[in-house]
Amino acid sequence: MNNDIVIFDTTLRDGEQSPGASMTLEEKLQVAKVLDELGVDVIEAGFPIASNGDFEAVSEIAKVVKNATVCGLARAGSKDIDRAGEAIKHAEKRRIHTFISTSPVHMKYKLQMEPDRVYEKVIESVTRARNWTDDVEWSAEDGTRTEFDFLCKCVEAAINAGATTINIPDTVGYTTPLEIADLFKRVIETVPNSDKAIFSAHCHNDLGMAVANSLAAVRGGARQIECTINGLGERAGNAALEEVIMAIRTRNDVFAYNTGINTKLLTRASKLVSAVSAFPVQYNKAIVGKNAFAHESGIHQDGMLKNAETYEIMKPEDVGVGGTDLVMGKHSGRHAFKQKLDQLGYNLGENAFQDAFNRFKDLADKKKNIFDEDIEALVDDEVGAASD
């Protein structure tokens, strides 16, 4: 098994399914172009049967994407599959992703179908999708809550029918890292033809473990990760692409895998998706949050000024951020304040510096955000008072 990980981005499909995140055609095209530049391997561009707008978006994206495979989602029915096939037909590289639920609770209540019928539909749907493309992904929806023997039986049938990627989604974000690693390992060991397909993890974040679970699935043998920019997605979202990528890059000693992602574009992609989906990125979000490379406490700022490795495990430039942000606030120390004055062009003597520093601390106790202008004003007052 090689160590290349296929990055399957579903921002435009699962991400867009977040309530309130819908995007216009123009916005989707912008996102697709950035994803292609970023180097994702597969762009799941939408769910063509869902609406004429979705069909058109997938079809237009299929025409403009240059490098990535363009994928359309379809349920296990011929109308869905043919609509997806039509939508992706202009893409250089095209995939149909077809799925059906396999867990007891979904089969009984959602599908109201017996397992034998679900099994038949797995074969029918993959066979039909293969009429459109050789690149077919099959997903066992709610896979992590599916009975193990039935899951293996469906996976084997999907591969025999021609599926080249097998996805075992954690649809409701229920699994844990140890459990999902073990699940992938056992399925791959048990299914006799498992070497004919790439196994894929698609993890939701209901318990905040989507990224950890995706990486654990890779340890279990998965070689595709399905993720979204900013972790956008249904309910608590999907595994965040930028977190998956930077975990692999930063901890390559533990996750010795390769991806083709240009990490310097991560921040740009994050800002674009946040703008078009109107979902703000939380300040303390890993990798792309406003505070991800910001330090306010005096102890941390002092450490950072001596050596950035004291409090940063990644370089901000590697994810497309200009640099570290030493934020001036009530926790800042003399060292950072001195550096800020140097940056602003002030060179104060010891007494003037101490006075300015005291005034800065008084101000910081009263004001939440201290801007460069605040510091300039208090130093100018200080210098003015001294010369009066």
Collapsing DSSP to helix, strand or coil, 313 comes out as coil
Instruction: State the binding partner of 295 from Zn ion, ligand KIV, none, CB within 5 to 8 A by kind.
Output: none
Element (H, E) at 377: helix 372-387
The entry of Zn ion, ligand KIV, none that residue 141 binds, CB within 5 to 8 Å by partner kind: ligand KIV
Place of tokens 């123009």: 26
Kindly state the smallest distance separating residue 80's Cβ from Zn ion, in Å: 16
Cα of first residue to Cα of last residue in the chain, in angstroms, is 76
Q: Which of 9, 14, 44, 382 binds Zn ion (CB under 5 A)?
A: 14
> Cβ of residue 332: shortest distance to ligand KIV, in angstroms?
44
Q: How far apart are CA 189 and CA 199, in angstroms?
A: 12
Residue number, 202 or 300, with CB nearest to Zn ion: 202
DSSP 349-369: -HHHHHHHHHHHHHHHHH-S-
Q: Looking at beta carbons only, is 201 or 281 nearer to ligand KIV?
A: 201
Instruction: Pick the piece of the chain touching Zn ion (CB under 5 A) from 11-19, 107-115, 311-319, 354-362.
Output: 11-19
Write down the least CB distance from residue 258 to Zn ion, Å. 25
| Contact region with Zn ion (CB under 5 A), list: 9-17, 19-27, 87-95, 291-299 | 9-17
Q: How far is the CB of 221 from Zn ion (least distance, A)?
A: 20
- Which range of residues in 8-16, 54-62, 104-112, 137-145 is near Zn ion by CB under 5 A? 8-16
**Residues 237 and 305 sit within 8 Å (Cβ to Cβ):** no
Smallest gap from Cβ 372 to ligand KIV, in A, equals: 46
**Is 16 near Zn ion (CB under 5 A)?**
no
Scanning the structure block, which residue is given the tokens 């209901």? 206
Q: Which is nearer to ligand KIV, 228 or 332 (CB)?
A: 228
DSSP per-residue letters across 16-43: TTSTT----HHHHHHHHHHHHHHT-SEE
Report the DSSP pairing between strands 94-101 and 325-326. Answer: unpaired
Please, what is the minimum distance in Å from the beta carbon of residue 172 to ligand KIV? 8
d(CA 168, CA 186): 12
Taking 3-state DSSP, the helix, strand and coil percentages for the chain, each rounded to the nearest 5, stand at 50, 15, 35
Q: Is 331 annotated as a binding residue?
A: no
In this complex, which beta carbon is closest to ligand KIV, that of residue 162 or of residue 169? 169
Of 210 and 265, nearer to Zn ion (C-beta) is 210
Closest Cα to residue 319, out of 225, 236, 241, 223?
241
Q: Check if the beta carbon of residue 257 is closer than 8 Å to that of residue 225.
A: no
Confirm whether residue 238 is marked as ligand binding.
Answer: yes
Minimum separation from the CB atom of position 336 to ligand KIV (A) = 45
Tokens describing residue 74? 């379809």
The DSSP string of 202-263 is: EEB-TTS-HHHHHHHHHHTT--EEEEBGGG--STT-B-BHHHHHHHHHHTTTTS--B----G
Q: Please tell me whether 295 is known to bind a ligand.
A: no
Of 143 and 329, which has the nearer Cβ to ligand KIV? 143
Tell me: is residue 90 an annotated ligand-binding position. Answer: no
Nearer to ligand KIV, 150 or 311 (CB): 150
Residues in touch with ligand KIV (CB under 6 A): 14, 99, 139, 141, 167, 169, 171, 202, 204
User: What residue numbers does the annotated binding site for Mn(2+) cover?
Assistant: 14, 202, 204, 238
- Where along the sequence are the contacts to Zn ion (CB under 5 A)? 14
